[in-house]
Amino acid sequence: MRILLALPEPLPGRFFSRAARERLAAVGEVDVHPTPADHRSPAATAALAEAEVLVTGWGTDLLDEEVLATAPRLRAVVHSAGSVRPVVTAGVVGRGVLVSSQARLNALPVAEYALATILLSLKGVLVAQRRYREARGAVDVRDLLSSHGVHARRVGVVGASVVGRRLLELLRPFDLEVVLADPTLEAGEAAALGAELVDLDELLRTSDVVSLHAPLLPSTRGMLDARRLALMPDGAVLVNTARGGLVDEAALVAELVAERLSAVLDVTEPEVPDPSSPLWDLPGVLLTPHVAGALGSELLRLGDGAVEEVERLAAGLPLLRPVTSQVYDRLA
């Protein structure tokens, strides 16, 4: 099997340990093409002409049907990261090339980040840290945090996506009431995930913390508008690790400026807020630069997952994490 490893430097070393590289070499001949991007360059065209498996990652050039025509032996694209949309078009998926994404593996650190911030928010850690810094002295935390605590509180999860489902699993050990809003599910399916199915408005009205895990689609853009944000109880917290475009940012900023709501925002739209945005300085906002997904040592999990898929291809086994044409738009 001819395996083309097409990730720009320094990603190959960050995603694939020495052991992972040895596993790849054990199942085929590995050709490393670490240049960022252009599948149409002479070197890339020559490598693609022989490749049976293309291993991709962040920064790999888009493989469309025109490029596919230069890769007659290509059987599969194994993406070592999450969304495959930056590396393969829907037309490629529909042309019989197998595609694998490690989105399910990348979902774990995102869900862990969401869980951590949910628990910290319920406990009142962010409120206490802010007040302690302002006081620079003793704080009556029993009074300050009298309405906080991780017991018998309600957490609302918006979207039974890959990350949303993983978060629901992580929430199970805690003494919390969990509700889920997802128009694609039935009540029994939600119950099997450990949550009560409710509509979005009810979830917002009754949840102490709301965590967003819906895809960004034309139907979901701006779904948390001024009307819906106004439904959230005073003191509620919004956690967004999904997409900034799910929220009407101007409406959210108004709620945050009024200190009626708090927010944990790992994603915004634009990706980096304008330097003049109030989000940078509002006391009720924890703003992070899109760190919830796999970083550092967590990248090795994604690389190992990609290697596992290549090993299965070599053994004639089905992919564990396939992306089909039917789910490309929803899960890719």
In whole angstroms, how far apart are CA 229 and each of 179, 186, 212, 220, 255? 17, 25, 13, 14, 8
How distant is the alpha carbon of residue 1 from its chain centre?
A: 32
Q: Which of 243, 249, 255, 308 is catalytic?
A: 243
Q: Which of 85, 290, 301, 311 is catalytic?
A: 290
Active-site position among 172, 259, 271, 330: 271
Going by C-beta distance under 8 Å and a sequence separation of 6 or more, which residues neighbour residue 220?
A: 214, 246
User: What tokens were used for 279?
Assistant: 């989000």
243 catalytic residue (yes or no):
yes
Other beta carbons within 10 Å of 98: 18
Integer Cα distance of 198 and 182 in angstroms: 8
Tell whether the torsion through CA atoms of 315, 317, 323 and 324 is positive or negative: positive
Dig out the tokens for 204 from the structure.
Answer: 């917002």
Per the structure block, which two tokens stand in for 148?
Answer: 């906080």
Pairing of strands 209-212, 237-240: parallel
Catalytic residues: 243, 271, 290
